[in-house]
Structure 1
């Protein structure tokens, strides 16, 4: 009788072990799926945190500038860049949280400024820091905006070089040209209004530098 009870107990224990193993195996695919979508290294997490923070900072600062800018053209630039960056922000956090392709793919920012650049320096009053908010002008606000787009572009470039999650890396890398375009648009605006002047070398020095290089031979080809 005792032997029969032991046999029944062993069967019960084996059944419990089998059920536990089955439950563990069934839960593994879900854990693996989550690990695949959120497979971020610690370094990548911190770099992405910096990128998202810089996008938030840019959007918040743009809101502050919008109420003070006087020039219609600069205000239009700000509003177009703000709308585009808002969508970019949503795309980045969506990919960061899921690891999946974004619902709205990375867009292409197209500026409305022409590419004509004015060279040379014109005399003007020496610059100095403004003492009050009321002294800030469109020159100041466009300079702030230019600095922020450059900061975001630099941060994204640094972060993209450290990304290991393939979807997030692609989104960040594809967004860098858009930030460069925004910065260039602001540079052109400033240049045309005399806020960002460009000195030039003499024609002789320019030509000497241009002619200071020669094509390289094709390595490994004989």
Structure 2
């Protein structure tokens, strides 16, 4: 079963991205100081390897592999720390041989966010339903892992969540109203 030119290029880009993620995450795992971050990186490397190998296996022999979805990091609204609390100024660190844990976590978060977007975009361009599903699963995996990294950073004050006045947020969001039950896409019920 040959692939279309467009999906071949998309899968090539995703495999290249995954290869880079695995290499970078492996380097970060060696440099990080926090054992919790190291363990998280180890798990994320394993899931990236699994996704990478699954795509390669399918593109080599066209046999669908079962994708194992990792559970999303459990978090509740009350677990997130909202508001800005004296964020410290930051600037790029130049000329250092070692990254600190905050920089590592930020780089991992950016990699996951970009990979989630790139894999979903690639999935939308694929005709092969198995490749498409593998890319969607990879996108969801990266989104879940990005959320886990966000939580890690948020609890350390490294990723603060700005807020707006409660009244302003409600006014903006309550502008939208629900569609009454029984409404069928603009068709009245008498037309049925």
The normalised TM-score by structure 1 is 0.78
Please name the residue that 1:74 is paired with: 37
2:143 equivalent among 155, 180, 198: 180
Please name the residue that 2:71 is paired with: 110
Contact 2:73 2:144 in 1 (8 A): no
The normalised TM-score by structure 2 is 0.89
2:24 equivalent among 35, 45, 61: 61
1:1-222 alignment runs, 5 A limit:
37=1, 39-102=2-65, 105-112=66-73, 114-115=75-76, 116-134=79-97, 136-217=99-180, 218=183, 219=185, 220-222=187-189
Contact 1:59 1:82 in 2 (8 A): yes
Structure with greater Cα Rg: 1
Q: Within 1, Cα distance between the matches of 2:5 and 2:99?
A: 41
Structure (1 or 2) with the greater helix fraction = 1
Specify every segment of 5 or more residues in structure 1 that has no aligned partner in the other structure, as ranges: 1-36
Give the number of aligned pairs. Answer: 183
SS in structure 2 opposite 1:101?
Answer: coil
Aligned-residue RMSD, C-alpha: 1.5
Q: Shift in Å at residue 212 of structure 1?
A: 0.7
Specify every segment of 5 or more residues in structure 2 that has no aligned partner in the other structure, as ranges: none
Deviations 1:9-44 (A, max 9, x none): xxxxxxxxxxxxxxxxxxxxxxxxxxxx2x211111
Contact 1:113 1:189 in 2 (8 A): no
SS in structure 1 opposite 2:31?
Answer: coil
4+ residue stretches of structure 1 with deviation over 3 A?
111-115
Q: Within 2, Cα distance between the matches of 1:95 and 1:135?
A: 37
Q: Within 1, Cα distance between the matches of 2:132 and 2:109?
A: 24
Please name the residue that 1:22 is paired with: none
SS in structure 2 opposite 1:198?
Answer: coil
Contact 2:18 2:48 in 1 (8 A): yes
Deviations 1:59-87 (A, max 9, x none): 00011111110011111110011111111
Q: Shift in Å at residue 135 of structure 1?
A: 6.2
